[in-house]
A and B are shown apart, each in its own frame.
Chain A
């Protein structure tokens, strides 16, 4: 039962005066720690725990559980955390479909949920809730930024590709929302597909100037490796998920020079980020990923709100979260009316530092971006 009640007792009780609450704030984290998608969950967890450790705040009690990337397990864990562990705040879910399973019932039971990764459109629009905060991005954001950037660059014809499932369609819709040129073809592949030879042949046959694709995780690795060996030289672009720290080493040189959009990178110039990157490497001996940065920000947001209000006073605590007065590693960070971020989305490029592949920022793709669904949200 080591993980079950991971009580983080800080060595020095360096508490700010306002957090003099009697009971610790209980946070439940449901994330993917086993199976194929475990890398993302581990990063979110590690970033989150690092922020708690660095704060030295001993008023937080963590309950961490593995959802195995299965929606029914996630629902079951959420029920347990709310009913038995009596947590005040839930967080941690990586995947949109799991978030859709858990978030509505958790917020309906009066708990806070802070999303460190998934941002399905329903939860930003019609299904929004006063107790639901998204600390990462709405799913479409990075694709909207890419569409905008391509339009500004004057790219006239684009080839779109995504897996045939809701997040894939959301991404492509987001791209088209901001892209003004012509979409020459739009291909939806099987979820979990590993061979993209057929799609690459279609790209070769098309007269597109650029390819925009959303293939998270292993799908992106497979596509990039096959694409670079195919001799097709149409440039590609994608959201950060296929070019993140955790998988870049597996893609290798095939990804060099590829542009991708992201709300964070390790070279964003601010004190909080510099401290985070150094501390993360010192603690875990690897470069932080996008997911780690989101976990880190989520924890700091919670800590900042705890400094201002008691979590038992839901209205005050909600107002404290809405204020978002913490030093985000992304720089400026604020919540829109639907509790989704208003933030910059950057254009990054994959580079090599020594023998490590990583990203550097080459520009801003969208400034102070907010999502398209806020108008549908009635809180």
Chain B
């Protein structure tokens, strides 16, 4: 395998990782601040993609589509938080799992009812289409480079939000002691709605960005949901930094594993069985990674408490 191919695959892993980060960040925030397991987070990812596809279809503008994804997912998130989620904060994890499992059913079939059973069209705008040549002669899609840049920008933005703003202080306070900030006069239910909507908006935004190079269809959020859970558990639940590191680890492991494992087995096996064993193992790789991390560090890489 040439160096150029390897660098290209590392970029691919990075890109996959930063997109995972957008989804995982919301999930980990919601868990950190409210202590809620939200299985329906993937549905908000889907809402963002469908909103973007609809607006892009109507207006032809990708920027408007992205704005719509943020708005629609945030609105859906706020609505769900007010109607359902806020009744779950005081419940145990089991009730949360069941309620948000029910929300997945409602979101998925509701979306199918509104948009039909066929995948929607959403494509990257012309000004981001096509490849660019990077130093060293690597041809790489401009859109994917943009995704990496956007992902890193959002991560930086989140860092600023949490470390420098009033909302960030409240979020951090909420993570360490929920009763205390209520006692200090912070409107806790408003804070929770905002945090949940923020997490939803990030997921919806990721859905729209990724939807442009994937299939916008019902159920697209569920694989992402499972991966996002893997990410936040590896990183340590509640930690944004952990979510970022975890995303990149998962992105790189998954991408490079799929490429390198079959090559590795080819060193001492015939081609057909090496491909077969390698591909089988690579699909299990991130779960193996997660199990190893948790066995070594039971609260994830950056997890504060059990």
Contacts and interface: CB of A to CB of B under 8 A. Distances in A.
Contact of A205 (B2, B141, B219): B2
B280 interface: yes
A226 B213 contact: yes
Contact of B16 (A197, A204, A225, A231): A197
B108 interface: yes
A252 B275 contact: no
B52 to A, nearest CB: 13
Nearest to A249: B121
Interface stretch (B123-131, B193-201, B295-303): B123-131
B112 A218 contact: no
B177 interface: no
A95 B179 CA distance: 52
B218 interface: yes
A36 B118 CA distance: 8
Interface in B83-132: 108-109, 112, 117-121, 123-124, 129-131
B219 A35 contact: yes
Interface residues of B, number: 50
Interface string A205-230: 10000000000011101100110011
B2 A197 contact: no
B216 interface: yes
Interface residues of A, number: 40
B54 interface: no
Most buried by A among B118, B223, B271: B118
B28 interface: no
B258 A189 contact: yes
Contacts of B282: 190
Given A197-B255, A201-B8, A202-B259, A39 B118 contact: yes
A225 B144 CA distance: 12
B123 A35 contact: no
Contact of B117 (A39, A198, A254): A39
B130 A42 contact: no
B283 interface: yes
Contact of A218 (B117, B123, B220, B276): B220
Contacts of A201: 5, 8-9, 12, 259
Given A39-B118, A229-B141, A231-B141, A221 B109 contact: no
B128 to A, nearest CB: 8
B163 interface: no
A186 B275 CA distance: 8
A187 interface: yes
B176 interface: no
Among A39, A189, A246, A249, residue most surrounded by chain B Cβ atoms (within 10 Å): A39
Interface of B: 1-2, 4-5, 8-9, 12-13, 15-16, 108-109, 112, 117-121, 123-124, 129-131, 139, 141, 143-144, 210, 212-220, 223, 255, 258-259, 262, 271-272, 275-276, 279-280, 282-283
Given A35-B219, A195-B213, 11 more contacts: A34-B109, A35-B112, A35-B218, A38-B112, A164-B280, A188-B275, A198-B12, A226-B213, A226-B214, A229-B213, A252-B121
Closest 8 CB pairs of A and B: A231-B131, A218-B215, A221-B215, A250-B119, A36-B219, A197-B12, A38-B117, A188-B279
